[in-house]
Amino acid sequence: MSSVAAQKSESRGRIQKVLNFVEVAGNKLPNPIIMFFYFTVATYILSFVMAKSGVSVSYQTLENGSIVEKTTGVINLLSTEGIRNLFTEAIPQFSGHPALGVILIAMLGVGVAEKSGLIDALIKKIVIGVPSTYVTPVVIFAGVMSNIAADAGYVVLIPLGAIIYMGFGRHPLVGMAAAFAGVSGGFSANLVIGSVDAFMAGITEPAARILDTNYTINPASNWYFCIASTFLITLLGWWVTDKIVEPALGKYEKDGKKDTGKEFELTNLERKGLKAAGASLVVFALAVFSLTRDGAPLGTYENAAGVTVDPFMSAIVFILGIFFFVPGVVFGFTSKKFENGADDIVAGLVESMRQSAAVIVIIFISAQFIYAFTASNIGTIIAVNGANAIKATGFTGIPLMVVFIVVTAIINLFIGGLSSKWMMMSPVFVPLFMQLGFSPEYTMLAYRIGDSTTNIISPLMSYFPIIVAFAVKYKRKGEDLGVGTIISMMLPYSVIFLIGWIVLFVAWSMLGLPIGPGASTAYIMG
């Protein structure tokens, strides 16, 4: 073996040891449901101790479009009001969890598509038509692009990635990892402008006006960089999946037998069903398009307050459910899989809810923890102190922005929500960096990079426990599979994405390239 090959082998060995340690240590944690219960209890106790100690922070934030000074202390959740809210908020927090409606509606459509055999037939088609070598970049790229469809990528593409990889005789968790990396790790990359871009611009603009009262920000101000990031994340994710994650997971053998998947030869009825399902999708797409024109039910309009509203984006999850339901029904009848007519459709709907039972339980208990963590203001304390720490580093220029990216990534491990953190951090850092010659768009871009890279290893991310629940389905006999498995599986993506994105960010900055239409990295006072 050459010295170079030996060094690579030794390096892979060290990486594997680290990942094994993370997995073993993480899997010693309790079942996610029990773990979140412990987290919730600990948060209540910690809130009592910190509140009695008078822990608080002062910061600027946005309220009704204006910058206001706020001092926030830890709220004692063991007070009379806190205990009262423990009981009164349990159901609202569960029913209002952002993942609940998305999962149930999307899974209803997917359940019918599965029951009809449509998904199985599509997988066969993919296996026949796409070389195994290129499945990974396709899955990751699809994950990045799925961000325009709200949170649908989490509940559709991630479990679908596992199924696709099993069809190729590869480990299903590798497929989940690739999809999760694209959907969540690549959250701030895309080829098109989405609602996140508009939302971020809306938060950043008032913060910029602290120094420049006439400053305006275009929602497309990060677009050029996001386009480049889409290809960067796809390529990096492809390398991490095939070179690190898949070798670490090894071959997938369930209950001692290698799962080779089903026969991939399509029957004549399945081919006929796919054509009919494809035709139904075209009709459905045209129908949706007709509903999104100006003046149509799903077209943009101005409400009474003069604010432009886009009902299509609000309806995207329901549309996604129908997107699977319609071709599923058409395929089922055309391929004669639905021999019992409407009863088979109902069976598919019911089965999808049965498969979602464990996920629903996790959503309930994790919602209580997230509520407690937010209501106690402990998350706010962590975020503001992190912001103060970065100001105290003494870095300037591009290195300062790199430190900002890293600190944002660390803060993201403790407090979720892209918008909530930015509402607290933007009034501090946007004016600060403007005084140092950095544009608000540039600061916003740096924040988005840091926020994206650690989503996939943060148990506080809303969908993280749900990913664990999906993964448990592929647990082998005698094998531990829990939070540690997912964190160790996703940690290489998080590290490589962070390093790769920072390299792109620094190179882009040094070349002085525009980060979006009419947006640059520099800001000139005056």
With respect to residue 519, please indicate whether it lies within any of the assigned structural domains: no
Supply the range of the domain harboring residue 266. Answer: 9-511
Residue 200, C-beta contacts closer than 8 angstroms, at least 6 positions apart: 219, 222, 418, 419, 422, 444, 448
Residue 1 resides in a domain: no
Q: Residue 75 gets which letter from DSSP?
A: -
Q: Quote the pLDDT of residue 123.
A: 62
11-20, long-range: CB < 8 A, 24+ apart: 12/244, 12/247, 15/244, 15/492, 16/248, 19/248, 19/488, 19/489, 19/491, 19/492, 20/488
Domain membership flag for residue 521: no
CB atoms under 10 Å from CB of 282, counted, come to 9
pTM: 0.66
Domain for residue 516, yes or no? no
Q: 303: which DSSP letter?
A: -
Q: Over 70: is that where the pLDDT of 17 sits?
A: no
Tallying the residues shown for the chain, one arrives at: 526
- Angle at the Cα of 399 from the Cα atoms of 393 and 402, rounded to 5 degrees: 90
How many domains are contained in the chain? Answer: 1
- Asked if the structure places residue 3 within a domain, the reply is no
CB of 509 closer than 8 Å to CB of 521: yes
Average pLDDT, the chain: 80
The pLDDT score that the predictor gives to residue 62 is 57
In a domain, 437, yes or no: yes
Q: What gap in Å lies between CA 77 and CA 85, rounded to an integer?
A: 8
- Give the SS3 label for residue 265: coil
β pairing state of 301-302 and 257-258: unpaired
**Confidence band, pLDDT 50/70/90 cuts, at residue 259:** very low
Q: Is residue 481 part of a domain?
A: yes
| pLDDT tens, residue by residue, 22-78 | 556 655 656 667 877 888 899 999 999 999 999 998 876 656 666 678 788 999 999
CA distance 184 to 194: 15
pLDDT tens-digit map of 130-159? 677 788 998 898 888 877 655 666 777 788
The predicted-structure confidence for 414-472, as pLDDT tens digits, reads as follows: 766 665 577 767 777 887 788 777 899 999 999 999 988 988 888 767 777 778 878 87
In a domain, residue 398? The reply is yes
Q: Is the pLDDT of residue 7 over 70?
A: no
Q: What is the pLDDT of residue 432?
A: 76
Mean pLDDT of 101-117: 80
Distance CA 461, CA 417 (A): 8
- The predicted model gives 368-375 an average pLDDT of 82
Q: pLDDT at residue 115 above 60?
A: yes
